[in-house]
């Protein structure tokens, strides 16, 4: 049903490596893309700015981290710091009069340069030890940013982002910022989708699965581990720039603390390691569940006429939120993307279940 | 050892490898000539895999030198040696789980991908990487036909039977168009039919792809029927070298495999 595979005939290798070979998948992607494009005129401004925009930005961050964690199998607990470097670099450059197009890329490059230094840790240590090394990165970068007035303007300081233009268009107001974030998100998403079908992605996967076997077929684990850190940090830096320009509009050290890093790691893991779709699912779950649960608990309490203490009102949603994450991971350790995949596979062959792979 | 050494595919001189106090390889020297299928045999723990690991750069010998097509590769990292036209398979399969058979074999093309496997090519897939991907796909599809893997090309490698996994690994090694192919027990755990398949692929690889083969193998029937020359190792020493049948019937070889008493009985029975 829906996802029909019958009648699809590939006549070239290029055709076979299409991103969405099934027509239904294409319709789905097309519909969502169309919705995102017309969203500013369809939905309330509040929803656009408070939900869709952060969702796009956090999804981008999750995609960037997913390249490293899902693609190359290297854990990173300092992604917030990577974004901070990009955010501060680009904001300072913009304030110095550099055009934002260049400042954004330069922010990415700055993140990539510093990120790759910490990538050297990955050449020596793996798994939990790498987690600790990257956690150290988070704290070192936090400390440096907060304590060097030239960067942050002081521990309590907030730097305003001046108005910027991108390719001549002013990124100002709700709609322009939304479209700008959407455009960057599209580029990052397409890149990540392509990773799955090129030699780059395969080489990263080889390093992730068996480094000695990767070496023997000519994949330099040294080069590709660093390349994974470089690319992922570059994306992180660009996302940091987009985050401050489109969403936060000012930059201060406390925005990029360990909370942000953990949040993005959670998005990647809950969404599904290595999955592009999963990054979007993960970002949506982590960002919106607390809000939804909060409203739900409030409305249920109000409806049932219960008078909950404010403490309890604040904590019940958090408990449910935690339980939900644990529940999803117990149900499907490979994340939300895998749950979607299971449903899709079910319908792919419905009603002939025996044909399922 | 000067005769013809300039044209040798692989030249090992006085390879000495120890792990702490254990001397795994004791001054081994040998050459492999172009187009040869060279067998490496010996009892368990005799140093066959250690020798292959030295040749492919996983171990650094304490002494001695390895040259591949005249280029000294003794201290090179494995991926640099791969770029010199060396491919190998492993005794315990080293396929990449979670990837399809096709992607695994495509990875074998990595040494030929160049910038096509970079991040920028990936970003500009439609105008850059796609062209590379299609070209390499063609080469891989040829190999899939050659190795008869058409039915399983889209299966994840971990779900196919062991015999086929070994074949996929051989295909991945061949995808690099190696000039020297090193096989570490390609037929371990196989039945007669599967062994015959692999033996035929090895012979065909030599005929059609001009590959020289260095093969570790325990099945003596295979060794005697497809190898041109063998070297027998025992405790890291070269105890016999030459034509397969002659080498494995040397008294020292029989002794290494069967022990001293059994060897005497064997010689007695033969006489």
Quote the Cα angle for B45-B47-B48, to 5°: 105
DSSP 3-state of A106: helix
Q: How far is B18 from chain A (nearest CA, A)?
A: 21
Would you call B130 and A206 a contact, using CB atoms and an 8 Å cutoff? no
Asked whether A136 and A270 are in contact (CB, 8 A), the reply is no
CATH number, domain containing residue A311: 1.10.3470
Q: How many residues does chain A have?
A: 357
Note the pLDDT of residue B254. Answer: 85
The parent domain of residue B133 ranges over: 97-177
A vs B, Cβ pairs < 8 A, gives: 121
Q: Which two tokens stand for residue A263?
A: 């949040």
- Best of A199, A223, A235 to substitute, by most chain B Cβ atoms within 10 angstroms, is A199
- In angstroms, the separation between the Cα of residue B153 and the nearest Cα of chain A is 13
| Selected residue of A17, A194, A221, A226 to mutate for chain B interface (largest B Cβ count, 10 A) | A194
- pLDDT for the residue numbered A6: 79
CA distance A203 to A224: 7
Interface probe for B, chosen from A17, A217, A274, A356 (most Cβ of B below 10 Å), is A217
pLDDT bin (cut points 50, 70, 90) of residue B2 is very low
| Contact criterion met (CB below 8 Å) for A83 and A260 | yes
- For A198, which of B97, B125, B176 is closest by C-beta distance? B125
Q: Indicate whether B137 belongs to any domain.
A: yes
Determine the number of helices (DSSP H) and then strands (DSSP E) in chain B.
Answer: 12, 10
Q: Do B134 and A13 touch (CB under 8 A)?
A: yes
B98 and A205 within 8 Å at the Cβ level: the answer is: yes
Asked if residue B241 is part of any domain, the answer here is: no
B interface with A, Cβ–Cβ < 8 A, is 56-58, 77-79, 82-83, 87-88, 90, 94-99, 103, 106-111, 113, 116-119, 121-123, 125, 129-130, 132-134, 136-138, 141, 172-173, 176
Phi-psi region of B30 (alpha: psi -120 to 50; beta: other; left: phi over 0): beta
For residue B111, tell me if it sits in a domain. yes
Average pLDDT over residues A245-266: 91
Mean pLDDT of A8-34: 90
* A22 falls within a domain: no
- Test B79 with A221 for CB contact under 8 angstroms: yes
Q: What is the pLDDT of residue B178?
A: 94
Q: What is the pLDDT of residue B268?
A: 63
Residue from A257, A252, A277, A253 nearest A267 by CA: A277
Q: Given CA atoms A198, A202, A207, A213 in this order, what sign does their dihedral have?
A: negative
Which pLDDT score, from 0 to 100, does residue B271 have?
54
Q: Are A267 and A92 in contact (CB under 8 A)?
A: no
pLDDT at position A51: 92
Q: Is residue B14 part of a domain?
A: no
Q: Would you list the DSSP string of B60-122?
A: --SEEEEEETTEE-TT--HHHHHHTTEEE--SS----TTSBHHHHHHHTTHHHHGGGGSHHHH
> Cβ contact (<8 Å) for A201 and B122?
yes
Q: ipTM above 0.85? A: yes
Which residue, among B176, B180, B182, has the nearest Cα to B51 in the 3D structure?
B182
The verdict on residue B124 lying in a domain is yes
- Residue B3 binned pLDDT confidence (cut-offs 50, 70, 90): very low
Q: Taking 80 as the threshold, does the pLDDT of residue B87 lie above it?
A: yes
Q: Are B234 and B43 in contact (CB under 8 A)?
A: yes
The DSSP code for A309 is -
Other C-beta atoms within 10 Å of A66: how many?
Answer: 28
Considering its fold, how many domains does chain A have in total?
A: 1
Could you tell me if residue A27 is inside a domain?
no
What mean pLDDT do residues A336-348 have?
A: 90
Range of the structural domain that residue A280 is part of: 43-355
Q: Which of B90, B110, B129 sits opposite A218 (nearest CB)?
A: B110
Do B156 and B99 touch, CB atoms closer than 8 A?
yes
A41-76 residue pLDDT tens = 999 998 999 999 999 999 999 999 999 999 999 999
In a domain, A20, yes or no: no
pLDDT for position B155: 92
Give B228 to chain A, closest Cα distance, Å: 25
Picking from B116, B133, B176, the nearest residue to A218 by CB comes out as B176
**Minimal Cα–Cα distance from B254 to chain A, Å?**
34
* Residue B128 belongs to a domain: yes
A329 within some domain: yes
Look-up of token digits 């994340």: A335
Averaged pLDDT for residues B115-123: 84
Q: Do A227 and B137 touch (CB under 8 A)?
A: no
pLDDT higher than 60, residue A324:
yes
Instruction: Report the candidate in B88, B20, B3 with the shortest Cα–Cα distance to residue B51.
Output: B88
Nearest to A202 among B79, B106, B137 (CB): B106
The answer to whether residue A108 is domain-embedded is yes
pLDDT tens for B230-244 read: 999 999 999 989 999
B261 domain-assigned? no
Taken in order A61, A66, A67, A69, the sign of the CA dihedral is positive
Inside any domain, residue B113? yes
| Count of structural domains, chain B | 1
Q: Which of A17, A216, A357 best tests the B interface by mutation, with the highest count of B CBs <10 A? A: A216
């Amino acid at each position: 049903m829906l996802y029909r595979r019958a009648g699809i005939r590939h006549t070239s290798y290029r055709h076979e490596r299409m991103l969405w070979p099934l027509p239904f998948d294409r319709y789905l992607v097309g519909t969502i893309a169309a919705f995102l494009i017309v969203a500013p005129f369809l939905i309330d401004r509040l929803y656009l700015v408070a939900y869709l925009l952060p969702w796009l930005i956090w999804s981008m961050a999750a995609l960037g981290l997913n390249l490293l964690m899902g693609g190359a199998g290297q854990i990173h607990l300092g992604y917030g710091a990577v974004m901070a470097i990009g955010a501060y670099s680009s904001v300072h450059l913009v304030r110095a009069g550099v055009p934002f197009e260049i400042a954004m890329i330069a922010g990415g490059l700055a993140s990539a340069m510093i990120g790759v230094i910490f990538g050297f840790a990955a050449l020596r240590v793996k798994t939990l030890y790498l987690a600790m090394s990257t956690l150290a990165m988070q704290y070192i970068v936090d400390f440096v940013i907060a304590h060097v007035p030239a960067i942050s303007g002081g521990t309590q300081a907030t730097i305003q982002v001046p108005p910027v233009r991108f390719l001549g268009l002013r990124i100002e107001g709700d709609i322009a910022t939304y479209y700008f974030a959407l455009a960057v998100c599209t580029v990052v998403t397409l890149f990540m989708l392509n990773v799955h079908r090129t030699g780059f992605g395969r080489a990263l996967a080889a390093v992730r699965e068996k480094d000695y076997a990767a070496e023997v077929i000519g994949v330099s684990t040294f080069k590709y581990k660093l390349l994974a850190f470089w690319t992922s940090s570059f994306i992180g830096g660009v996302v940091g720039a987009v985050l401050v320009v489109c969403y936060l509009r000012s930059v201060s050290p406390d925005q990029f603390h360990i909370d942000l890093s953990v949040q993005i790691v959670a998005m990647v893991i809950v969404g599904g390691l290595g999955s592009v779709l999963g990054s979007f699912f993960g970002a949506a779950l982590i960002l919106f569940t607390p809000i939804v649960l909060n409203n739900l608990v409030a409305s249920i309490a109000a409806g049932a006429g219960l008078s909950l203490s404010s403490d309890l009102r604040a904590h019940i949603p958090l408990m449910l939120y935690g339980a939900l994450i644990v529940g999803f991971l117990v149900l499907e350790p490979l994340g939300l993307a895998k749950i979607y995949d299971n449903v899709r596979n079910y319908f792919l062959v419905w009603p002939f279940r025996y044909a399922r792979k | 050892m000067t005769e013809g050494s300039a044209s040798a595919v692989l030249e090992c001189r006085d390879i000495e490898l120890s792990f702490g106090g254990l001397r795994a390889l004791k001054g081994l020297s040998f050459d492999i000539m172009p187009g040869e299928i060279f067998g490496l045999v010996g009892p368990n723990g005799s140093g066959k895999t250690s020798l292959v690991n030295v040749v492919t750069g996983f171990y650094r010998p304490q002494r001695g030198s390895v040259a591949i097509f005249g280029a000294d590769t003794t201290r090179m990292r494995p991926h640099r040696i791969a770029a010199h036209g060396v491919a190998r398979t492993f005794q315990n399969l080293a396929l990449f789980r979670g990837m399809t058979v096709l992607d695994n074999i495509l990875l074998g093309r990595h040494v030929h991908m160049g910038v096509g496997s970079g991040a920028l090519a990936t970003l500009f897939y439609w105008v850059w990487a796609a062209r590379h991907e299609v070209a390499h796909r063609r080469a891989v599809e040829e190999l899939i036909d050659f190795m008869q893997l058409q039915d399983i090309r889209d299966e994840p490698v971990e779900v196919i039977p062991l015999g086929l996994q070994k074949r996929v690994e051989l295909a991945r090694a061949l995808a690099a168009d190696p000039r020297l192919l090193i096989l570490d027990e390609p037929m371990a755990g196989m039945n007669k039919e599967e062994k015959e398949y692999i033996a035929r692929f090895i012979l065909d690889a030599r005929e059609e792809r001009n590959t020289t083969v260095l093969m570790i193998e325990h099945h003596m029937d295979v060794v005697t029927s497809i190898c041109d020359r063998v070297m027998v190792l025992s405790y890291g020493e070269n105890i016999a070298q030459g034509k397969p049948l002659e080498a494995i019937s040397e008294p020292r070889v029989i002794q290494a495999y069967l022990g001293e008493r059994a060897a005497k009985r064997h010689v007695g029975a033969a006489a």
